[in-house]
Chains A and B, each alone.
Chain A
Amino acid sequence: MNGQGLGFPLFPPRASVLADRVDTLFFFLLALTGLVTLIVATLVIVFAVRYRRRPGRAIAPSQTAGSTLLELAWTIVPGLLFVVPFVWGARLYVDAAVPPPNALTITAIGKQWMWKFQHQGGQREIDSLHVPLGRPVRLLLTSEDVIHSLYIPAFRMKQDVLPGRYTTVWFQADRTGDFHLFCSEFCGTAHSRMGGQVTVMQPEAYERWLALGASESLASRGSKLFQQLGCNTCHRGDSLQRAPGLVGLYGRPVQLTDGRIVTADEDYLRESIVEPASKIVLGWQPIMPTFKGRVTDDELLQLVAYIRSLEPPAPEPFAPEGQPLFPAERRQGR
């Protein structure tokens, strides 16, 4: 199957929960389309040979115009058959779009031509990504320049990375080892060199690896930045505040002045920092200045991580149970 005997692979390694499910769908499609192709090819060859023109028979003896019954059959039957791969593929896609609440978040910035990853504990890596086995990992992705796309074939996972916006993707690795990591959206000269390796490690090994590179956590850096930029003078969280409070904001619905309700996800937080006037929270004045150009993409991610980490004092029914607070989780890890 995987072409071991040939000396080169015919099938990619599988290293995530999703990969098995995608491959099953792939084989289903392969069987379905293979069968239909085989039938068509056989009929074409058999008909062409069997009914080849013979001397004395210039035209075909039967000049049928067609058959409405047959036409309806081969219109409706494929139509019904197609429901299966559509629903199947859609289910997997939606599952792959929504990470479980306990997923570990790792940030990734694509830039010409490298991938910069940062773990919540502040550990940085370039063109390589270490992840634990058996634990959902959510990647928060953005780009500093053009569109890139993070592609890990062994996980059957791919997500475009856009400038000025956060996208996310998640996976749960189920096999240890090193796997290819590519950029799959053309991004300029060294596009084909923009990649590296994903290393899936046993959880204990992963913790040891994290400890080696540990530095200040993202949220803690974000907290300092929050003070330095003076955000806390308005977002104070007390009766004197001139801006909405941020504690427990993450993941909650927000009512805007123009009537829309949006969810305070990471992309909303990012936009509210760089383009504050575009979404004004109901009951507040549009007085916040833009921080576009005043914070780097890295710093933006730190600020977002900090706001994310601001948990409300009492557990909200909204916040899924066991949601890791990253600083706390780091302590557990050691």
Chain B
Amino acid sequence: MANIRVADRHAPAPQFDDLVQQREAAALGMWVFLVTEVMLFGGLFTVYTVYRWLHHPAFVEGSHHMALIAGAVNTAVLIASSFTMAQAVQRAQRGLRRGLLGFLASTALLGVVFLGLKAYEYWSHYAEGLVPGSPWTYAGPHSGPLQSFFFLYFAMTGLHAVHLTVGVGLVTGLIVLARRRRFTAAYHTPVEVIGLYWHLIDVIWVFLFPLFYLIG
């Protein structure tokens, strides 16, 4: 009974000839989606580049308000989560359910740790009056461009955090499916494509870290 259900699940969708075609389509689809993500962040990276060029002193000033230790630790946390995600994919490819579950859980957990640390950083910026708009109380030099810097900081890390939150949700979904024994060595496409998404989030942070924390 259970076997039949698993077999059905692994039949290709009607528009595909076989599972290989289906998996290749899914992989290409995810990569194309990642391109759209790069361009979405790309708009913000452009704003960043232009304003850093126009207001370099303000950006140096802004960087001094960043919590370097927290940023560096978070970078390590996210890299670790990418490692566990890569391991999870490997376990899925080998059809090792227990390992898959373990690594997926650690990935999600590390994602949550990152978000927690980020939330703490946000809170301390708020306490310092460095949130643009009405909470803004900073009155030193470059106040105008510095607001732009912090606007970009919150926009870019915020958009990143939103993506990471979605990522944690997706990985949790994978855990649920893995517990229901939906993945086998022959069929684990969702693990692979969500893995790709997770790694891209890591890549984006790899750039955000030096661009905000390490200016001068």
Contact = CB atoms under 8 A, between A and B. Distances in A.
**Direct touching of A and B (C-beta under 8 Å):** yes
Interface of A: 258, 275, 277-278, 280, 286, 290, 292
Interface string B59-82: 000000000000000000000000
B144 A292 contact: yes
Nearest to A258: B56
A286 B141 contact: yes
Contacts of A258: 56-57
B57 A275 contact: no
Contacts of A280: 57
Nearest to B56: A258
Contacts of A292: 144
A275 B144 contact: yes
A115 to B, nearest CB: 28
Interface of B is mostly: helix
A278 to B, nearest CB: 6
B139 to A, nearest CB: 11
B142 interface: yes
Contacts of A286: 57, 141
20 contacts: A258-B56, A258-B57, A275-B144, A275-B145, A277-B57, A277-B58, A277-B141, A277-B142, A278-B54, A278-B55, A278-B57, A278-B58, A278-B142, A278-B145, A280-B57, A286-B57, A286-B141, A290-B143, A290-B144, A292-B144
Contacts of B55: 278
B145 to A, nearest CB: 6
Contacts of A290: 143-144
Contacts of A277: 57-58, 141-142
Interface string B139-172: 0011111000000000000000000000000000
Given A258-B56, A278-B57, A290-B144, 9 more contacts: A275-B144, A275-B145, A277-B57, A277-B142, A278-B54, A278-B142, A278-B145, A290-B143, A292-B144
B214 to A, nearest CB: 17
A163 to B, nearest CB: 14
Interface in B34-57: 54-57
Contacts of B58: 277-278
Nearest to B55: A278
A258 B54 CA distance: 12
A278 B142 CA distance: 7
Nearest to B145: A278
